[in-house]
Chain A
Amino acid sequence: MEYKDYYQIMGVERDATQDEIKRAYRKLARKYHPDVSKEADAEKRFKEVGEANEVLKDPEKRAAYDQLGANWQAGQDFNAPPDWDAGFEFGGGGFTGGGTQYHSFDGADASAYSDFFESLFGQGFQQAGAGGRGGPQSGYQQQSGFHSAGSDHHAKILIDLEDAMNGATRSISLRVPDVDAAGHVTTKERVLKINIPKGIKQGQHIRLGGQGNPGMGQGKAGDLYLEIEFNPHGIYHVDGRDVYLDLPVAPWEAALGASVKVPTPGGLVDLKIKPGSANGSKMRLKGRGIPASSSNNSAGDLYVVLQVALPPASTDSEKAAYEKMQQSFSFNPRATLGV
């Protein structure tokens, strides 16, 4: 397994005071909290920082970790030396309540810690639990008489605009912690097939009751929340249930009016362009956006935004046409600039 440099993760020196560690943790937790940060690896970073804090904030664990020596490099292949923790005892308050730093977000607490952490502190922690010194937080052992509801699980799912138009089925795979009778935690892959409801919007969530993390004892399982994100689309831009399309038109189509074929998420339509349409003018096709998802909301609209495209003048006859225009118009495009 890989050695983790908790000091590097926290951005502090090895001789940092407990106060400095606390401050560094607070800053990083705010920066990488998955509800706050937009960075792609925010959740991973948040967990790393939480794990580093779990060790460094606790003087006993920090001393044990320091004992490994300062010569390790992050990512270096690591095996815990035999009896490395002789003389240290991770019981009592040491780990109790541990994991709560990111407990509330991920729910998959056990798997949230790295193998490196588990090899150093996992064992002692589990023994402490078995000895009854740790509180109910202290583990994944099937303690008799202890029941606790499973936590909710959160995941993101990428869909296409077309999926929201028509509804779709998606397979997702989730890594969930699984606890055997002896209290060992393993990671299990769960594949779920999910119906994407027609009419769902970007940023909305699908809740699947009871599909979150399993409860302990007779506690009921948590829920699974899937956040919907749209893949960027080649021609449409989506805002809520409204869909926007930039439609290129020729200058004469905008000036004289025309009937043109326009793609919409629901298929091709014929669109009438009014004579004298300006560049950037918007036409609304009511109800041709994303359909309603329930009786409490209504279908979005499709907005067609006219983009007048300038034809290049390459041939002699094209150039002549532009010259003809020049003669026919008394047009000053810079009138608003006062020149």
Chain B
Amino acid sequence: MVKQTTDILSGRIVEDETRLTLRQLCDTCAVRAEYIIELVDEGFIEPSGVEKSHWCFNGVSIRRVQKAKRLQHDLGINLAGVALAIELIDEIEQLRALLDR
């Protein structure tokens, strides 16, 4: 095993990202625009702006798209199923957080 040390890295908080274009969201998540459009049609991620060319996404969309992509790929569920699963998972997480209190 080789050890390698680097300088201090500063990243960005994904969830704080605002005003991502469709193109930037595609690049970040390594998916095609058609996939994003399907997720928007599913009501799973919600851009601001009416026209596709003016769509603006926030950082939460990045996480949602990545999760959808993984679940779809790994478990073989369709988009509607993925959306349902993730919404239920989010709900369970909120309930767990309440229990911890």
Contact = CB atoms under 8 A, between A and B. Distances in A.
Interface of A: 26, 29-30, 33, 35-36, 38, 100-105, 149, 152, 169, 178, 186-195, 197, 200-201, 203-209, 211, 223-226, 237, 239, 244, 293-294, 296-297
B14 to A, nearest CB: 4
A100 B89 CA distance: 23
Contacts of B15: 201, 204-205
Nearest to A38: B96
A226 B11 contact: yes
Interface in B16-72: 16, 18, 28, 30, 62-63, 66-67, 69-71
Interface residues of B, number: 38
Contacts, number: 107
Contacts of B62: 207
A225 B101 contact: no
A152 B67 CA distance: 12
Nearest to A151: B30
A35 B3 contact: no
Interface of B: 1-16, 18, 28, 30, 62-63, 66-67, 69-71, 73-76, 85-86, 89, 93, 96-97, 100-101
Nearest to A30: B75
Contacts of B6: 190-193
A192 B73 CA distance: 30
Contact of A35 (B4, B13, B89, B96): B89
A225 B15 CA distance: 12
A35 B16 contact: no
A30 B75 CA distance: 6
7 residue pairs, one from A and one from B, having the closest CB atoms:
A206-B11, A208-B11, A205-B14, A193-B8, A195-B10, A104-B73, A204-B15
A194 B75 contact: no
A239 B101 contact: yes
Given A36-B85, A204-B14, A205-B15, A194 B8 contact: yes
